[in-house]
Chain A
Amino acid sequence: MSLILENIDHVVGASTHIEGVSLELAPGSFNVLLGRTLAGKTTLMRLMAGLEAPTHGKVMMHGRDVTGVPVRKRNVSMVYQQFINYPTLSVFDNIASPLQLARVDKQEIRRRVHETAEMLHIEHLLDRFPLELSGGQQQRTAMGRALVKDAELILFDEPLVNLDYKLREEFRDELRELFKAKNCIAVYATTEPNEALALGGHTAVLHEGRLLQYGRTEDVYHRPRDILTAEMFSEPPINVMPGLVSGSEVSFDDTLYFPVDEVFSRLDPGAYHFGVRASHISLSRLHPTDLEVEVTVELSEISGSETFLHVRNDIFSLVLHLGGVHRFETDQRITVFLPTHKMYAFDQHGAIVHVPSHRGGR
């Protein structure tokens, strides 16, 4: 009882939108499709829904091949970026519309609409019309329509993009709660790594039509398969620095190096890419093996409770993610500390060769 995509290709004219994607979504799972714009998220969702047929490959639902079955004959619902509702119908009738189409009994419709509306906190708005509502409430109505009919598959195509960030926070929390109890497969497309983390569940990282990695959200985040996945699944992106491993040290250039420890001595000598997360770089020494680096501030971006510090030196540009509000002047010279024991290492082809083992408490 699951949704399986088997080696799906989707080609339109000369351009390949989806290339060789295989994915198995478990029943009752919440799945995030993470990727930049044009990564193929929407196309993949449309293939899952049956709005498109794949050029090659199979789509299996509950063990049944549904590759050519059009969307009307599948039990699927979808929520879009835009707040799509019937403007001339009340919120009640909007939510009821899929049930009315399915000729569900009147009593039953009333019951289920009220139940859904209560879940989404719009019960007091049932008599209103969509255009009288705020953006958040309109999107709740659209979600109500998707949730009311007990679909086997619910697709969310960046549903929160057009809402401001406070509303997004609330929605994410609610969606997590909502789907804990549901037994359908949910797929949620987003461009924001932090949204994927906040939603939890499983994450599939997409890039240019290909699936980079799929797994439990934390696992994909903490153990990316390669540089690209690590970069796609981090905001601000993970800092990547080219470096050389010799017998005794890891060096970034003549002046910047650190002695290999037990971990890095296991790597064969040669060129690697080292990855360090923006939030792991600090302004003070936290560990004896931290690497001290002189940098110039390019910009400090402050987000209410956090600071994103863009810095650079002659060798590389780094982004720091600091908790709290920190003011820096542009072009100010500062010293930052890179934790060598929290560094990832990738080989020349980008494949991961070392995952830091610092994560305790689990």
Chain B
Amino acid sequence: MVNKVYNNRAWLLVLPMLALVAFSAIIPLMTVVNYSVQDVFDANTRFFTGIEWFERTLNDAGLQAALLRQFAFSFTVLAIQVPLGIGIALLMPKRGWQASAVLILITLPLLIPWNVVGSIWQIFTRGDIGLMGVGLRELGYGYNITRNPVDAWATIVLMDVWHWTPLIALLCYSGLRSIPEAYYQAARIDRASKWAVFRYIQLPKLTNVLVIGVLLRFMHSFMIYAEPFVLTGGGPGSSTTFLSQSLATMAIGQQDLGPSAAFSLIYFLIILLVCWVFYTAIMNMQKDKAERGGV
């Protein structure tokens, strides 16, 4: 039984936080909203455009393609990273110095800054000096990420998998560690197969961490920018141009403030929507649990 003392003065303590949030999020966001409904020529000349920029953005074939590409990318990396992460977590040693060593090794990619990751892979895949680029060519495959869209895609996916699978693996590893030994003992006594142990003991206990992992990875991958920008520059053509890069090109490269403001808002809303759907789904799952648990 946890009881709290009710004291309305506590709300005063929230005020500084509110001010901070106002400056860090609400005011900048409102500026963007402001731009998204106007056509700005210079500091003194601007027209109200209503939802015109939004319509244009939504109908822009290039942006539509980027959005599709973005979804395809996010789902591809999730589909690879989740099972792979679980698999790695299952194979990791459970105790002793080996456990610590593997943990450190696996964490390394997570510590490298985004654009450095891009640079590393840029060099790694170069046809003249990069280990992977040269290696693949030696094997007789005409690997070239600046010409071949498939190569470029595969490389970006591979790079993301290399960079972020450790996160899923770490989350799962901690989830697996929290399963009491008695469960494994009971399963052995029940003569459960390895698969049954995974399916009925490990996987159910991993659901919670996986939900967090998937949510994080989805948001992350949906906003991916620096790595492909450094590695492929969005090419060849626009085959690896994802949403955030399109946006940067529009806002900074072309100074189209109105459309890019509208685009920003749409982008923001998509992420918000997906997260909300995800969040409600989880909450419903848990409410469901609680209700049935109360029987």
Contacts and interface: CB of A to CB of B under 8 A. Distances in A.
Establish whether A and B are touching in the complex (CB under 8 Å): yes
B5 A53 contact: yes
Nearest to A46: B3
A12 interface: yes
A208 to B, nearest CB: 13
| Chain B interface extent, by class | under 10
A52 interface: yes
B3 A52 contact: yes
B89 to A, nearest CB: 29
Interface string B1-27: 101010000000000000000000000
Interface in A1-56: 10, 12, 17, 38, 42-43, 46, 51-53
A42 B5 contact: no
A235 B192 CA distance: 43
B3 A38 contact: no
A158 B5 CA distance: 23
B219 to A, nearest CB: 35
A12 B5 CA distance: 10
A137 B3 CA distance: 30
Contacts of A38: 1
Contacts of A42: 1
A10 B3 contact: yes
A53 B3 CA distance: 10
Contacts of B1: 17, 38, 42-43
B220 to A, nearest CB: 37
Contacts of B3: 10, 12, 17, 43, 46, 52
Interface string B171-212: 000000000000000000000000000000000000000000
Nearest to A55: B6
B142 to A, nearest CB: 62
Nearest to A38: B1
Contacts of A17: 1, 3
A10 B1 CA distance: 13
Contacts of A12: 3
Contacts of B5: 51-53
A53 B1 CA distance: 15
B251 to A, nearest CB: 49
A267 B148 CA distance: 103
Interface in A47-104: 51-53
Given A43-B1, A43-B3, A52-B3, 10 more contacts: A10-B3, A12-B3, A17-B1, A17-B3, A38-B1, A42-B1, A46-B3, A51-B5, A52-B5, A53-B5
Ranked 7 nearest A-B pairs via Cβ = A52-B3, A12-B3, A53-B5, A42-B1, A52-B5, A43-B3, A43-B1
11 contacts: A12-B3, A17-B1, A38-B1, A42-B1, A43-B1, A43-B3, A46-B3, A51-B5, A52-B3, A52-B5, A53-B5
